[in-house]
Structure 1
Amino acid sequence: MTELPQQESSDAAESGSELLEEVLREFAELDSAAEPLRVELVTSEILGEWWEAGDDLAAELIEFAEVAPEPERLVAPLAALRALAPTEEQREAAGFALDKLGLGEPDWARSLNQVTVGECWRTADVYGDETSVLCVFGEGESAHGLLVSIGYALFGGWADEAVIVESPAEVIAEMQGQAAESGNLVTCERITPGRAHQLLADAFVGTELQTEPEVTDDYVRFRALAMARTRALPEPEPADPPRVLSTEEQAEAIDAFFLATPEVEDTEAARVCALRLIEFGLEHDPRDPLRVGPDKLASFVDLVDDGAIELTDEQDEALERVLPAWARWGAVRDGLPEDAVEPLLEAVEDRIYERTLETESTLDAYLDGAEDLDEAGAADVLERRQFAIPSVYTEIADEEVELDPSDPEQRRLLVIGEHPDFQESLAEDDLDEEAFLRLAAHTTVVDQLWDDEPPEVWQTAQRLLARGLHRADVLAQLAGVLEERLETGEGDSLEFDLDDYLRALDELG
């Protein structure tokens, strides 16, 4: 018997027309003599809200200009979009729509993003994991700066924070002070505006390529203005091309690693770990794939733990020996300062220790109630339950969460997390009877596998796996058999005939 999940009501989202009306009101509050920077900040915040919500309301606003009953209200936002819309296509479309209206523009319209370029500075950690770029615009008391934080642990580098600062001279002093106080761990240098353009443009591309980048609230707020200021910089200097490593060069690097680190046993599993590190570098750090840094190596471990980088159990065990040695070998090869090597190794050891704790905690959840079993019995329980729930992590409402599979309610959420169609229906309060039955069947089958009750469910799953079916297909077949036999009982409960269910399972596989 399975209880029907309760549907939750959700508030209706604001319609596009309501949001557009709100935008028109905000621009109506900006008089013609408003400071251009104020207009830019208002526009950037609006565009940031749209970007975060995944709505392309800029295009809708431009189209609305064709039929707007009060076209004069569209002049200000179109003028702002002409300068600050993130894509060239939208900027051109906004300008074209504005020209078609043929109405007078605010005084600030032609001054947006028309700025003089001043000094550009860059700080970077010695490992190459992080950098901050500051560009100064304007002069004297009216000068302001764009400060962008860039990480190079993933995606070839991407921006996670951007902010407009009022006192760039103070920020420059802070950057210089940070470098001076760090010893050899942080550098600070003045760079050309062209170099700054290249760094920022590449970083913004890295962010935009991600489906759901983890960025700060300031990045969302200042994103459009930061991109506009980047376009105001001189042409970007050419960037170093990606470093391509042939299969032979990768093998040579692995040979050199084991030759330099005799304390690591040269096994096939250890070599696969080294190869995965190189492949990770080629994908996520293409200009310097063999570079080592605390953030970069931690990101590698994260991807292993998430299953994005696949290792066998033997290879995973070897990783704990390979990773610190790889860090030390890379530090020597890259000529890192001596006082930078120890913090790097400590960070790697800390990440491995955290991983051990996470693994032990996860195992405790999977072996809940099986503490008295011998090693072979515990292994069987672990295999069955990890088939039912392969990960304690899932994404609910666009947020990654860690849950306890031994808790029935949290286990249900882990099942829902594997089925976006269930999530969407639940969130929209639109789970029909057919979807209810599917959800009930899936959660019940997972519960049966977890508890091994009835044991025929796991026996059937093993037969199907032996035939070469993938986990998702096996679960789909098991849930399908149960769903066909579910009947409504008292209240919101669902019931099924156990004998009939077991006969149907026996016929599978």
Structure 2
Amino acid sequence: MTELPQQESSEDAESASELLEEVLREFAELDSSAEPLRVELVASEILGEWWEAGDDLAAELIESAPAAPEPGRLVAPLAALRSLATAEGQREAAGLALEKLGLGEPAWAGALNQVTVAECWRTADVYGDESSVLCVFGAGEAAHGLLVSIGYAAFGGWADEAVIVESPAEVVAEMQSQAAESGDLVICERISPGRAHQLLADAFVGTELQNEPEVSDDYVRFRALALARIRALPEPEPADPPQLLSTEDEAEAIDEFFRASADVEDTEAARVCVLRLIEFGVEHDPRRPLRVGPDKLAAFVDFVDDGVIELTDEQDETLEKVLPAWARWGAFRAGLPSDAVEPLVEAVEDRLYERALETESTIDSYLDGFEELDEHAAVALLERRQFAVPSVYTEIAGEEVELDPSDPEQRRLLVIGEHPDFQEALAEDELDEESFLRVTAHTTVVDQLWEDEPAEVWQAAQRLRGRGLERTEVLDELATVLEERLETGEGDALEFDLDEYLRALAELG
């Protein structure tokens, strides 16, 4: 067991060495008179690949410089890292490493990120969901721009695309044309470089704070250069502070909403829905917590569906009435133009319709084999099977997947998805006997609950729920009862005495 990590470490080191060698070759192909922008693009693409892979090879390259057998080959990449490394400490370390080498630098080295800021532009939809910021650097034919797309549906705003454009004047013309053709739905304005700095810096922070942000390939490729250009902008202007809402403020907003929304019944479930909408705004749109927009409200629905925002069945059902009314109330509260209100409400209703179709498809999986049940029997069936398998989504090997619980093999994967501590060992076929019995017991209990065979399993589960146990605790109790009775039969198959098992279940709860 002690040799395996050493072997993997050796392989990792060899792989890193090969990657660094490839980088040295790429920089060797750049002659001393190469255009600075070309060098920046090469370095940014390399840094993007490292960032996407989660490898800090920049630090390794810098640390290896003093003992490098051919130090001259490190001069060019170190010079690039001195300007383009995304961490300030690495930029400083790269500079120190260059000084210690004491070798001549390429002609382009001193010109990296030495740019003059020209004009900055911004477009934004009237709802505040999306914005694009363009910063122009240089002038004439040598001018280039940084164009960043920012979404404000969640996470306080975050950049999902960034690209270096060669003809910024054409982009400005396109931005102006888009605004002119949209009526009142898109604005285009020239902004100060300090304002652009603030918007872009905040957006990149919003992206970097996410574990696995959904960004474009261009974002990865141009990320390091974009961050360098942002540093070249003047000091950022102060951002608007978060809009703090006290409990009294939230209660007042809820009351105001119901006074203005006569078509929504003022119930406890509806009030919880509105409170969750406000809380979502406070967390993900702190400067404008009550703002409404198609993307923001769709993001709220996504968070509900993913279980990040928890609603009871009654509250979830009420959401269908609350959300369009919230969109309309928020639009009038914000003074949105009349042309923007109906598209907003329609977008929300479309998202709810899509959700209903998804839910209907999911319910069909849970009703598999029992399509002709009356309403009472269908509700009872759904309660039992959704207790056994609460979601058709799970994460396997870091990937979110949608599975069909009516398929025994896919149902087993849904159970395994709830036990990430077993997944790696299962994938490597290295599960120890104790863990194997535990997984077997859990998957078998879920199958028994799904099929209601034996019925005593669901009866015991209901008694345990009546004692106040959570679902995971109930499943653990049931699995323990079964696991203690599993024995190896013919052909190494696992067996258990049904009568003994039923007696033990009867004692639970």
Corresponding position of 1:394: 394
Deviation at 1:469, TM superposition (A): 2.5
Matched, 1:132 2:124: no
Partner amino acid, structure 2, of 1:326? W
Corresponding position of 2:220: 220
**1:388-438 residue CA offsets vs partner (Å, 9 max, x unmatched):** 111111223433222211112222222222222233334556545554444
Consecutive unaligned residues of structure 1, counting only runs of 5 or more, are 1-10
2:150 is paired with a residue of what secondary structure? strand
How large is the Cα RMSD of the aligned pairs? 2.2
Corresponding position of 1:53: 53
Partner amino acid, structure 2, of 1:210? Q
Corresponding position of 2:267: 267
Q: Using CA pairs below 8 Å that are at least 6 residues apart, which structure has the higher relative contact order? A: 1
Corresponding position of 1:314: 314
Indicate how the Cα distance of structure 1 residues 488 and 44 shifts in structure 2: closer, same or farther if over 3 A, else same: farther
| Further displaced range: 462-471 or 259-268 | 462-471
Deviation at 1:385, TM superposition (A): 1.2
**1:427-456 residue CA offsets vs partner (Å, 9 max, x unmatched):** 556545554444333322222221122223
Indicate how the Cα distance of structure 1 residues 338 and 65 shifts in structure 2: closer, same or farther if over 3 A, else same: same
2:67 is paired with a residue of what secondary structure? coil
Indicate how the Cα distance of structure 1 residues 430 and 234 shifts in structure 2: closer, same or farther if over 3 A, else same: farther
Corresponding position of 2:181: 181
1:326 is paired with a residue of what secondary structure? helix
Corresponding position of 1:15: 15
Corresponding position of 2:364: 364
Corresponding position of 1:208: 208
Deviation at 1:58, TM superposition (A): 1.8
Which runs of structure 2 are paired with 1:55-454 in the superposition (5 Å)?
55-427=55-427, 430-454=430-454
**Cα distance in 2 between the residues matched to 1:399 and 1:179:** 39
**1:194-252 residue CA offsets vs partner (Å, 9 max, x unmatched):** 11100000000000111111111111111111111111111101110000011111111
**Cα distance in 2 between the residues matched to 1:40 and 1:114:** 11
Deviation at 1:486, TM superposition (A): 4.2
Partner amino acid, structure 2, of 1:159? A
Deviation at 1:35, TM superposition (A): 1.7
Indicate how the Cα distance of structure 1 residues 98 and 168 shifts in structure 2: closer, same or farther if over 3 A, else same: same
Partner amino acid, structure 1, of 2:345? L
**Cα distance in 2 between the residues matched to 1:486 and 1:60:** 52
Which runs of structure 2 are paired with 1:31-50 in the superposition (5 Å)?
31-50=31-50
Matched, 1:465 2:502: no
**Cα distance in 2 between the residues matched to 1:481 and 1:24:** 61
**Cα distance in 2 between the residues matched to 1:441 and 1:211:** 33
Indicate how the Cα distance of structure 1 residues 503 and 131 shifts in structure 2: closer, same or farther if over 3 A, else same: same
**Cα distance in 1 between the residues matched to 2:431 and 2:296:** 42
| Further displaced range: 33-42 or 66-75 | 66-75
Deviation at 1:148, TM superposition (A): 0.5
1:239 is paired with a residue of what secondary structure? coil
**Cα distance in 1 between the residues matched to 2:492 and 2:85:** 51
Partner amino acid, structure 1, of 2:111? S
Deviation at 1:186, TM superposition (A): 0.7
1:15 is paired with a residue of what secondary structure? helix
**Cα distance in 1 between the residues matched to 2:61 and 2:99:** 15
Indicate how the Cα distance of structure 1 residues 462 and 63 shifts in structure 2: closer, same or farther if over 3 A, else same: farther
Corresponding position of 2:3: none
| Further displaced range: 273-282 or 32-41 | 32-41
Deviation at 1:259, TM superposition (A): 1.3
**Cα distance in 2 between the residues matched to 1:425 and 1:39:** 45
**Cα distance in 1 between the residues matched to 2:117 and 2:304:** 43
Deviation at 1:504, TM superposition (A): 4.3
Deviation at 1:376, TM superposition (A): 2.5
Corresponding position of 1:7: none
Partner amino acid, structure 2, of 1:201? A
Deviation at 1:490, TM superposition (A): 6.1
Deviation at 1:320, TM superposition (A): 1.1
**Cα distance in 1 between the residues matched to 2:102 and 2:451:** 72
**Cα distance in 2 between the residues matched to 1:488 and 1:83:** 65
Indicate how the Cα distance of structure 1 residues 491 and 142 shifts in structure 2: closer, same or farther if over 3 A, else same: farther
**Cα distance in 2 between the residues matched to 1:80 and 1:291:** 42
Indicate how the Cα distance of structure 1 residues 495 and 31 shifts in structure 2: closer, same or farther if over 3 A, else same: farther
Percent identical across equivalent pairs? 83
Indicate how the Cα distance of structure 1 residues 88 and 412 shifts in structure 2: closer, same or farther if over 3 A, else same: same
Indicate how the Cα distance of structure 1 residues 140 and 66 shifts in structure 2: closer, same or farther if over 3 A, else same: same
| Further displaced range: 75-84 or 390-399 | 390-399
Indicate how the Cα distance of structure 1 residues 458 and 172 shifts in structure 2: closer, same or farther if over 3 A, else same: same
**Cα distance in 2 between the residues matched to 1:21 and 1:467:** 63
1:159 is paired with a residue of what secondary structure? strand
Indicate how the Cα distance of structure 1 residues 494 and 162 shifts in structure 2: closer, same or farther if over 3 A, else same: farther
Indicate how the Cα distance of structure 1 residues 24 and 317 shifts in structure 2: closer, same or farther if over 3 A, else same: same
How many residues get paired? Answer: 499
Indicate how the Cα distance of structure 1 residues 430 and 38 shifts in structure 2: closer, same or farther if over 3 A, else same: farther
**Cα distance in 2 between the residues matched to 1:30 and 1:483:** 65
Consecutive unaligned residues of structure 2, counting only runs of 5 or more, are 1-10
| Further displaced range: 131-140 or 391-400 | 391-400
Q: What TM-score, normalized to structure 2?
A: 0.92
Deviation at 1:282, TM superposition (A): 0.6
1:175 is paired with a residue of what secondary structure? helix
**Cα distance in 2 between the residues matched to 1:484 and 1:99:** 68
**Cα distance in 2 between the residues matched to 1:490 and 1:16:** 50
